[in-house]
Amino acid sequence: MSLKAINPANGTLIETYPSLNAEEMDHRIRQANAAQASWQKMSFAERADVLRRVAAQLREEKDTLGKLMTAEMGKPVKEAGPEVEKAAWCAEHYAEHAAGYLADQHLASDASQSYVTYQPLGTVLGILPWNAPLWLAFRFLAPALMAGNTCVMKHDPHVPGCAKAIAEAFGKAGAPEHIMVNLPLENDLAEQAIRHSGIAAVSFTGSDRAGAAVASVAASEIKPAVLELGGSDPLIVLADADLETAADVATLSRIINAGQSCIAAKRIIVEAPVYEIFTQLVERRLTLLKVGDPTAPETDVGPLAREDLRQNLHRQVSATLDAGARCLMGGQPDAGLGYFYPVTLLADVTPEMCAFREETFGPVMVLIKASDADQALALANDTAYGLGAGVWTTNLAQAQRFIRELQAGQVAVNGIVKTDPRLPSGGIKRSGFGRELGPHGIHEFVNAKQVWVK
């Protein structure tokens, strides 16, 4: 069995990597289990030293790691380097703050002393997607490792080189052997990995459909899971907003990583008095974007990661146009080599249309007109998803109302929805459960042990 890395810019085979069979997978999980006891006994300071060395190794290899991402999943080179930096930052953040995040919590009771102490669960399985190979890996690895767990990483089969390089970075940094183990697996072995007796908990990032399957298996084994799933994030632009800045942020949020981001602004809901002018503002910005070779420093939008993703995106665009939306630009896939899709702007989208109901994973901006703020809020919440949301307004009272009433795991006011190691991130509804990052993220995979002493 093998994993094939395909260059999405031209459809050619980059390299073939051997994948594990069930027996080999079992061996690697047991290696992580065996390493966990000694890793847990290390102090926070000792574990932090390891994570800092790994971060330094990532920065030393930033160019190589960035090129790997560009080759395997098409990330423009201008975005690849910053992703490596963000992964290193995540490792350093938890190296610095894990001890404080997991400090004993003293609580008054009838005991002489009563408190909660936080201890690792064991070995945690991370099942990761292809769209941010370095960042999403360290979003999982850094808090779990600093809590004293060991980690096994089943990365997406389409980025096997990235997964291998992450594991090698730990070795080059002198990390204790097997605290982080790479599992190059075909997807059909994922369930067996979740059910493995050596796995204590699961972290999954991916689609809501796959997340439902992972959650079901984990629950049947009575194992905790964190799910960060898809999103159809609304970005609401009210009539009093700073339209120029809002248009800048809407454009960036929608096209970063060729639109292949769970927390990207996917439904742009604009209040009627400024709908036409805002449409012109984003159209002007989208027109300036350069689609092409992701290795070129001037490229803004690279290819989609796979041909099936491009086909599905075009299905969504076509169905939305058939239902009456207007196509202001793009809308037809390129005929040349690679899995490119043009930057596309769909206007006058309504709730019954495909691009409103489904998550669109690609450089497609969807504009929706709202008669007033009340309808904008109702449209924003009219979705099965609840990952992130943004609102643009200069009215503080209005902003506070949207913060309270938007059904999402995070809300950005007059800014971009993003992930940050310092702040918790996650969703509600079909966007998942649990939190990653910040103090909340490191508490997901620990035993909050109550202690009572007299």
Residue 261 lies in a domain: yes
User: Choosing from 90, 151, 162, 262, which is the catalytic residue?
Assistant: 262
Provide the 8-state DSSP code for 406. Answer: -
- Residue 50 Cα to chain centre, angstroms: 24
**Res 334: pLDDT:** 79
Residue 423, in any domain of the structure: no
Question: What letter does residue 366 receive in the DSSP assignment?
Answer: E
CATH number where 19 lies: 3.40.605.10
At residue 200, φ and ψ (nearest 5 deg) are -95, -25
Has residue 418 been placed in a domain? no
Query: What are the residues whose beta carbons fall under 8 Å from the beta carbon of 14, sequence distance 6 or more?
Result: 5, 6, 7, 71, 72, 161
Q: Give the pLDDT of the chain (454 residues) as one tens digit per residue.
A: 799 999 999 999 999 999 999 999 999 999 999 999 999 999 999 999 999 999 999 999 999 999 999 999 999 999 999 999 999 999 999 999 999 999 999 999 999 999 999 999 999 999 999 999 999 999 999 999 999 999 999 999 999 999 999 999 999 999 999 999 999 999 999 999 999 999 999 999 999 999 999 999 999 999 999 999 999 999 999 999 999 999 999 999 999 999 999 999 999 999 999 999 999 999 999 999 999 999 999 999 999 999 999 999 999 999 999 999 999 999 999 788 999 999 999 999 999 999 999 999 999 999 999 999 999 999 999 999 999 999 999 999 999 999 999 999 999 999 999 999 999 999 999 999 999 999 999 999 999 999 999 9
Does residue 312 sit in the same domain as residue 218? Answer: no
Q: Is 271 known to be catalytic?
A: no
- The residue range of the domain holding 284 is 233-413
Q: Looking at the structure, do residues 14 and 80 belong to the same domain, yes or no?
A: yes
For residue 81, is it within any domain? yes
**What DSSP string runs through 95-131?**
HHHHHHHT--EE--SSSSEEEEEEEE-SEEEEE--SS
Does 399 share its domain with 262? yes
Which residue in this structure is represented by tokens 């940094």? 173
Point out the catalytic residue in the list 72, 83, 228, 359.
228
Tell me, yes or no, whether 421 lies in a domain.
no
Are residues 245 and 99 part of one domain? no
Contact 102, 147 (CB under 8 A): yes
Looking at residue 177, what is its pLDDT?
Answer: 98
pTM score above 0.85:
yes
Domain count, the chain: 2
Question: First vs last Cα of the chain: how many Å apart?
Answer: 58
Q: How many residues does the chain have?
A: 454
Where helices occur in 178-305 by DSSP H, the ranges are: 190-195, 208-220, 243-255, 275-287
Residue 162 appears among annotated catalytic residues:
no
What pLDDT, on a 0 to 100 scale, did the predictor assign at position 46? 98
Is residue 207 domain-shared with residue 237, that is, in the same domain? no
Answer yes or no: do 144 and 201 share one domain: yes
Residue 336: the pLDDT is 87
CATH number assigned to the domain comprising residue 350: 3.40.309.10
* pLDDT of amino acid 97: 98
The pLDDT value given to residue 16:
97
Residue 95 lies in a domain: yes
Do both 243 and 378 map to the same domain?
yes
DSSP class of residue 7 equals: E
